């Protein structure tokens, strides 16, 4: 994974962006790699073709095409008054409309922001692995990459918020970098649902001294983790009512309406019917179950291993306690339609835990866990990365130069597909 080839990644970007991107992944810590990875995400967003009507990108391009340009102050006032649930998307709508009606330009900006926080998170992985380089590190990196890949620029809001939330939380909880509490508070501006998990993380961080690995509270947390995992398989959709959370949010109006819609029996039934009638969603559901069981098993194994080896690493202990805490919350949230997406943040953290344990204590069991990541993530790799890369973006992205890609989209006009 290490090569002096990174020196050529930046000049290569002009002639072959995709090749430059792959080269940059070999040495993420270099400044040239940072520039290439972030810019490639912008180019990836620019390459969207908006032909897949079921994709979030198509719906967002449709709304953007009909969006009437208003000032940033008007957008902010609309947000404060509860007219919109979050501000991120509409700020980008307004900014782009000032210069262009091309949704490709809009998604290049979405890709740029996604790429920035994605790169910061990839750098965390690179830092944790240190100089270790072998096939197991590559598998771990593939899984980390696949948790929330570049194709997820498609759903710009939540997926961008995931990387910002993860990096901010990891920096705050594990490395005690207090400035990143500001990053946490910014995530609800990108996607409203983070309004309800940010305060939980702040409380966890505030009382973190109570959750040391030898405390009674930490032991209780372990049993809560097991209980909520089992509960997540038997809870009906929307069995938990969020009316109290709706009343507690400072942003009434669109946010409370969104919560009421997601938390309604009608949406719960619609969610069930979609899964039962869609082969893709059915397959996705079972892979989701397999992933949930796999990471649950790994967390149980990790906790016992850390207790056994008594490795004096405060960061390792902080990470396992945080995972137990956050996964417990995520299991409960998974009963709400789309609430299961928060599990992704837990999975990302688990992969870092697996990486840290492999560096410290590379036993056969840990290696088996790592190898099993490939079948567990096979659906996500084949569909979430492979198929969506084919369906969402122009094929020119994979072999064309930067000027060709830009030229192809200059006069692009959104087409309504009924």
* 246-281: pLDDT as tens digits: 555 555 566 666 665 555 555 556 556 666 656 667
Q: What band does 312 get if pLDDT is binned at 50, 70 and 90?
A: low
Which pLDDT value is given to residue 1?
A: 43
Cα torsion 14, 16, 21, 23: sign:
negative
Which pLDDT value is given to residue 273?
A: 61
Q: What is the pTM assigned to this prediction?
A: 0.91
Which pLDDT value is given to residue 2?
A: 47
Please spell the DSSP secondary structure of 44-92, one letter per residue: HHHTB----TTSHHHHHHHHHHTPPP--HHHHHHHHHTTSSS-SHHHHH
Could you give the percent of the chain with pLDDT greater than 90? 65
What value does the mean pLDDT of the chain take?
87
The widest CA-to-CA distance across the chain, in whole angstroms, is: 63
CB neighbour list of residue 72: distance below 8 Å, 6 or more residues apart: 91, 94, 95
Phi/psi at 349 (nearest 5 deg)? Answer: -65, -35
370-400: string of b/e by CB count within 10 Å (b at 16+)? bebbeebbebbbebbbeebbeebbbeebeeb
Could you give the percent of the chain with pLDDT greater than 70? 85
96 and 105 in contact (C-beta within 8 Å)? yes
Q: To which residue do tokens 């006032």 refer?
A: 77
190 and 161 in contact (C-beta within 8 Å)? yes
Per-residue pLDDT tens digits for 120-170? 999 999 999 988 889 999 999 999 999 999 999 998 999 999 999 999 999
Which pLDDT value is given to residue 79?
A: 84
Question: Is the model more confident about 86 or about 301?
Answer: 301
Which pLDDT value is given to residue 272?
A: 61
The torsion angle over the Cα atoms of residues 130, 132, 135 and 137, rounded to 10 degrees, is -20
Per-residue pLDDT tens digits for 32-87? 999 999 999 999 999 999 999 989 999 999 999 998 877 888 888 888 877 788 89
403 and 16 in contact (C-beta within 8 Å)? no
3-class SS at 393?
Answer: strand
Range of weakest confidence among 5-19, 89-103, 292-306, 342-356:
5-19
């Amino acid at each position: 994974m290490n090569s002096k080839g990174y020196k050529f990644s930046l000049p290569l970007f002009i002639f072959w962006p995709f090749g430059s991107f792959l080269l940059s992944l070999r040495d993420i810590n270099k400044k040239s790699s940072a520039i290439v990875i972030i810019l490639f995400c912008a180019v990836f967003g620019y390459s969207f073709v908006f032909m897949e009507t079921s994709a979030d990108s198509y719906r967002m391009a449709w709304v953007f095409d009909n969006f009437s340009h208003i000032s940033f102050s008007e957008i902010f006032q609309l947000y404060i008054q509860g007219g919109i649930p979050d501000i991120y998307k509409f700020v980008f709508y307004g900014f782009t409309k000032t210069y262009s009606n091309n949704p490709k330009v809009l998604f290049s900006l979405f890709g740029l922001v996604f790429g920035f926080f994605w790169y910061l998170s990839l750098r965390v992985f690179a830092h944790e692995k240190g100089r270790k380089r072998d096939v197991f590190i590559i598998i771990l990196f593939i899984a980390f990459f696949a948790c929330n890949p570049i194709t997820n620029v498609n759903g710009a809001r939540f997926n961008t918020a995931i990387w910002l939330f993860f990096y901010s939380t990891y920096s705050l909880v594990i490395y005690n970098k207090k400035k990143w509490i500001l990053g946490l508070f910014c995530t609800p501006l990108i996607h409203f649902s983070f309004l309800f998990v940010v305060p939980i993380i702040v409380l966890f961080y505030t009382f973190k001294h109570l959750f040391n690995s030898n405390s009674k509270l930490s032991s209780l947390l372990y049993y809560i983790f097991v209980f909520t995992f089992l509960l997540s398989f038997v809870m009906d959709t929307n069995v938990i009512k969020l009316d109290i959370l709706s009343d507690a949010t400072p942003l009434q109006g669109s946010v409370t309406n969104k919560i009421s819609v997601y938390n309604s029996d009608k949406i719960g039934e619609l969610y069930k019917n979609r899964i039962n009638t869609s082969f893709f969603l059915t397959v996705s559901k079972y892979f989701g179950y397999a992933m949930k069981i796999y990471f649950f098993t790994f967390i149980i194994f990790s906790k016992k291993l850390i207790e056994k080896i008594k490795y004096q690493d405060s960061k390792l202990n902080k990470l396992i306690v945080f995972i137990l805490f956050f996964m417990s919350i995520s299991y409960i949230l998974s009963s709400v339609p789309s609430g299961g997406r928060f599990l992704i943040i837990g999975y990302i953290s688990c992969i870092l835990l697996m990486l840290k344990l492999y560096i410290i204590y590379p036993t056969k069991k840990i290696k088996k866990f790592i190898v099993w990541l490939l079948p567990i993530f096979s659906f996500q790799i084949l569909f979430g990365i492979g198929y969506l890369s084919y369906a969402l973006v122009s094929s020119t992205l994979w072999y064309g130069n930067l000027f060709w890609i830009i030229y192809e989209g200059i006069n692009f006009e959104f087409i309504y597909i009924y």
